[in-house]
């Protein structure tokens, strides 16, 4: 997971360095692609965490259906993240919901906005989606913070 964090964080740094030196259109397209990548990584990482958790905690008869459920998981808006977490640990779901209603509300907003931007970009619902480097940094912070907590809770320290 750390390698993926480093890869995405490095790409954000490249985009930030390119602002003002490259054409705006190139920066915008690169930023949009990175937004899609961060969101896709969140989706895939959540799947991997829960598949591994199920593998560790159950026999193959239980593990296989859980794997199928996780494989169909897409567009990880916070409500869907809570639903998925609730399948495995209702107390952690409740705690995360509380955090997103209080001290981590901005994280919730960034995750939901990132997924909305991903859908808009992927389906070309608008001709222009503004994904600035500061927005990418906010999305990355929300993505990595959530994944760190979920990974640590279900699989132990990374």
Q: How far is CA 56 from CA 34, 68, 113, in A?
A: 32, 16, 33
pLDDT tens digit sequence for 93-138: 999 999 999 999 999 999 999 999 999 998 877 767 788 888 999 9
What pLDDT is stored for residue 72 in this prediction? Answer: 82
Query: What DSSP letter does each residue of the chain carry, written as one string?
Result: -HHHHHHHHHHHHHHHHHTTTS-HHHHHHHHHHHHHHHHHHHHHHHHHHHHHHHHHHS-HHHHHHHHHHHHT--S--HHHHHHHHHHH-HHHHHHHHHHHTTTTHHHHHHHHHHHHHHHHHHTT-SS-----HHHHHHHHHHHHHHHHHHHHHHH---
What pLDDT is stored for residue 22 in this prediction? Answer: 66
Mark the ranges of the chain whose per-residue pLDDT is less than 70: 20, 22, 127, 158
What are the residues whose beta carbons fall under 8 Å from the beta carbon of 38, sequence distance 6 or more? 8, 114, 136, 139, 140, 143
Domain ranges of the chain: 25-155
What pLDDT is stored for residue 92 in this prediction? Answer: 98
What are the residues whose beta carbons fall under 8 Å from the beta carbon of 22, sequence distance 6 or more? none
What pLDDT is stored for residue 158 in this prediction? Answer: 61
């Amino acid at each position: 997971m750390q390698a993926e964090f480093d890869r995405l964080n490095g790409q954000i740094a490249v985009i930030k360095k390119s602002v003002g030196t490259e054409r705006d259109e190139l920066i915008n397209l690169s930023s949009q692609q990175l937004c899609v990548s961060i969101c896709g990584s969140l989706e895939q990482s959540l799947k991997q965490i829960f598949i591994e958790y199920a593998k560790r905690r159950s026999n193959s008869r239980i593990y296989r259906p859980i794997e199928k459920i996780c494989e169909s998981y897409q567009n990880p808006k916070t409500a869907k993240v809570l639903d998925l977490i609730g399948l495995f640990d209702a107390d952690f779901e409740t705690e995360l919901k509380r955090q997103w209603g209080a001290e981590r509300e901005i994280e919730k907003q960034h995750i939901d906005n990132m997924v909305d931007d991903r859908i808009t970009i992927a389906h070309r619902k608008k001709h222009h989606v503004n994904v600035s480097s500061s927005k990418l940094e906010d999305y990355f912070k929300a993505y990595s913070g959530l994944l760190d907590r979920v990974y640590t809770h279900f699989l132990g320290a990374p």
